[in-house]
Amino acid sequence: MGTSRVQQRDARVTSPVEVLWVARYDYEPGWQVRSHAHNHHQMILTLDGAGAFRAGGQTIRTQAGDLLFLPPRCQHGLCTSRQPLRTLDIKFRILDAALARACRALPRHVRAPKNLEDLLEAVRTEGLAQRPQYRAFCDHYLGLAVLELLRQHAGTSVAPLPPTPHASPAPVGQPEVARVAAFIAAHCHEPLTREQLAALARCSYRYLCELFQRELRIAPMQYVRRCRIDRARELASRSEFELKQIATLTGFKSVHHFTRIFQQETGLPPARWRAQERTGIRRDVVIAPGFANEDRTLKP
């Protein structure tokens, strides 16, 4: 099905934000981005490495986990970096007047809230796939990200976000769930059994399932699988390990089992997912039809 037909089926849903464009960028040492400004908001999340940005007349040094929140007409650019820099970059409009006023109080440089990378990556994933209603999903995920920034700035406790396509749910509430989920996250690459998890929770596995379903809407062994796939995605995108090695490192019995589960969780076999992830770097993912992004990267 062509993109035009998908867009025709993508009925617009009222949202306080509108995503325009998103992209992953990998900058080599010495690269720069020419100083510029535009009439929309922008977030730049540093995933790995470190860089020096110029924004609003100030030099801002970022490292992994830092976020730049740039308001409209803010002059900004990337200064020369001495090491590789990986970013997730998103441009958007705030359509709700009250939300726009609230966002004026946000600082330009903050530590990203928990799960922000997952939310922004979910926007990029939807934009790449362009399935029906993808624009509504993109706006929804970005809206959650903006609200999370406002909540963090207000100094209130951050409530858990709903699971995104690539995020393991955050454990909350019951101590048994928190204890078992933390253990799974740390040991998901090891063989884990129902009996082992039940013993750790000091209850029956049936009762543990009830607690997990109530808190996370997922069974304990499904949570194990989700954590393994999250780790596999990270290794597939950020390492040169062969798929057989990734399967072993993430606790799967064979590469065939790994491939089957990976496809069930992500919709793609791991080799194809890795290829799509890598071809998506420095690829403009236009969400709003008609939006044009200008690449201002300067290479030595």
Predicted confidence (pLDDT) per residue in 215-273, tens digit: 888 899 999 998 998 889 888 877 788 999 999 999 999 999 999 999 988 888 999 88
Task: Reply yes or no on domain 3-162 having CATH 2.60.120.280.
Answer: yes
- What is residue 169's DSSP assignment? P
Please state whether the predicted TM-score (pTM) of the whole model is above 0.85: no
Beta strands in 178-220 (DSSP E): none
Give the span between the Cα atoms of 104 and 74, in whole angstroms.
12
Segment 49-98, tens digit of pLDDT = 888 999 989 999 999 999 999 999 999 999 866 788 889 999 999 999 99
* Distance (Å) of CA 47 to CA 32, 75, 112, 234, 258: 17, 22, 10, 12, 26
Q: Contact, 268 vs 276, CB < 8 A?
A: yes
Residue 70 and residue 79 in contact, taking contact as beta carbons nearer than 8 Å: no
Q: Where in the chain is the domain with CATH 2.60.120.280?
A: 3-162
CATH number for the segment(s) 175-279: 1.10.10.60
Query: Where do the CATH 1.10.10.60 domains begin and end in the chain?
Result: 175-279
